[in-house]
A = this chain, B = another copy of it.
Amino acid sequence: MVAAVRVAPTAASRAASLLRTVQYTHPPSCPCHSNPGHHHHHAKPQVESYARRAGQRAFASPMDPSKQKEYAFEMAASSIRFGPGVTQEVGMDLKNMQAKRVCVVTDSTVAKLTAIAQVKEALTREGIEFTIFDKVRVEPKDSSIKEAIAFSKPYQPDAYLAVGGGSVIDTAKLMNLYTEYPDADFLDFVNAPLGKGRPVDKKLKPLIAIPTTAGTGSETTGTAIFDLVAKRAKTGVAHRNLKPTLGICDPLNTRTMPSAVKASSGLDVLCHSLESWTAIPFNERTPRPTNPILRPAYQGANPISDIFSLSALRSTVKYLPRAVRDPDDFEAQSEMLLAATLAGVGFGNAGVHLCHGMSYPISGQNPGYQHAGYAVPFPIIPHGVSVAVSAPAVFRFTAASNPDRHLAAAEAFGVDISNVKREDAGAVLADAITEFLEELGDQPKGLKDLGFTGEHIDALVEGTIPQQRVLMLAPGLDAELQREKDQLRGLFEDAMTH
């Protein structure tokens, strides 16, 4: 399999790719969420070459922007406040913003935690009127999002306050969005090709996000993810104008996570950093947007996201094992919350790719696996587990696109890379990840441990194809649909056992 996927695109597949580019960019008013840029990506080293390439391209003669590669990247992140106990400041923040009518968004579990009690006290102390929506569904569906929007629309809040994990923060973003665009059809803003990928061209109401897990990084990103049930796809809305105004990261709030939740949220952070670090470079993406508002948040790796991604990767390797092992290791937990936020800034401005793309059918088509430490009365493959389980296979596959970057990632795991050949970068990184997962404990050693067999692979491949939003950033994935499916099949096969 590995040899096959390293083959460069043929002339025929390139022609097909070009055709697909043209189709994808119709209507031309919104190329941003339908980007097939990965089809043009060839294997070559990219570290530190952004500027040189961009310089050359700036003087190229003008041509149809839909066929031009991107020449710029945009970095946007929420303001972040970080400190133990900082939750108590949120009432003053909302008052400073002149908020008078706040919609607090949470879920039924978080509603019982200290974080919510502190929030209520902080708002009451400042005399701010608020109402609490605590019906967020963990792993939201379009139906649960619509229910939440039906709550916020009549309330007409002048600010939102999300307290919880990624599901809560994502739901709050969409409540804010659709309350500000009351006449929009739900699919208008959803990522193309499943939705219409309309850009968010209005300023939304202020949203403050207080994460209670160290994982999604949603407090810094303009992304909101949910299941679009009718299409059997995980998709969402992604635009930088959706991002919270302020993320309040209080490490006292993540102490309540059970050890198994710490592990799986931490693996999400690990994959956010690894995937954004290895995503196709921003200046290999096509088309160049015709208006800056159409520049996608998932724009590919770029010099600023790189800094965040690599830094978050190093922190996760160092602190996640400690945070999982010792519930009293407050330093490690605190560093993991910071790493989650940094990784959020990284992937929020670069994107993720195969681990996330493949994880959605893995979680959704669960043959009956019940992850240890999750006290729920039904089978569950936690999000972080479902992304990490394919990671060794994924980076073995992507390494050929940029061995230097994959070696740098292996180095972040503590591997001495001084004598490693570039063609072994994938194998070395895959081994480092496998070892990391094994030492973390309680992790499946491949899809087999989750109950998947060869018979499931067709459905897993079919379930991955709709995730174009992330697949477009996967280096080495082929343009032609059948080839792409073959590659994904190879990846799922390789992920059966580490």
Contacts and interface: CB of A to CB of B under 8 A. Distances in A.
Contact of A92 (B84, B85, B291): B291
Given A54-B83, A72-B86, A251-B51, A93 B292 contact: yes
Given A55-B331, A293-B96, A342-B304, A79 B74 contact: yes
A54 B84 CA distance: 7
Nearest to A71: B83
Nearest to A80: B75
A273 B201 CA distance: 35
A292 B84 contact: no
A303 B338 contact: yes
A125 interface: no
Interface in A54-79: 54-55, 57-58, 71-77, 79
A293 B330 CA distance: 27
B291 A96 contact: yes
Task: Say whether chain A's binding surface is mostly helix, strand, loop, or mixed.
Answer: helix
Given A77-B77, A292-B93, A334-B51, A58 B85 contact: yes
A478 interface: no
Interface string A42-54: 0000000001101
A469 B210 CA distance: 31
Contacts of A232: none
Nearest to A292: B89
A481 interface: no
A106 B89 CA distance: 39
A270 to B, nearest CB: 18
A493 B136 CA distance: 64
Contacts of A83: 54, 71-73
Contacts of A293: 92, 96
Interface string A141-167: 000000000000000000000000000
B72 A81 contact: yes
A127 B3 CA distance: 55
A81 to B, nearest CB: 4
B71 A75 contact: no
B292 A334 contact: no
Contacts of A334: 51, 54-55
Contacts of A330: 51-52, 55
B84 A74 contact: no
B304 A80 contact: yes
B79 A240 contact: yes
A322 to B, nearest CB: 11
A82 interface: yes
Interface string A321-352: 00000000011001100100010000000000
A193 to B, nearest CB: 24
A308 interface: yes
A132 interface: no
Nearest to A57: B84
Contact of A84 (B55, B75, B311): B55
Given A55-B330, A96-B201, A292-B92, A75 B85 contact: no
A345 to B, nearest CB: 9
A333 to B, nearest CB: 9
A420 interface: no
A295 B295 CA distance: 33
A341 to B, nearest CB: 9
Interface in A87-125: 89, 92-93, 96
Contacts of A71: 83-86
A105 to B, nearest CB: 21
A83 B55 CA distance: 9
Interface of A: 51-52, 54-55, 57-58, 71-77, 79-86, 89, 92-93, 96, 201, 240, 251-252, 291-293, 295, 302-304, 307-308, 311, 330-331, 334-335, 338, 342
12 contacts: A51-B334, A52-B330, A55-B331, A55-B334, A58-B252, A72-B85, A74-B79, A74-B81, A75-B80, A75-B82, A82-B303, A304-B342
Given A57-B84, A96-B292, A304-B338, 14 more contacts: A51-B334, A54-B84, A55-B330, A55-B331, A58-B84, A58-B85, A75-B82, A76-B80, A81-B295, A92-B292, A92-B293, A303-B338, A304-B342, A307-B311
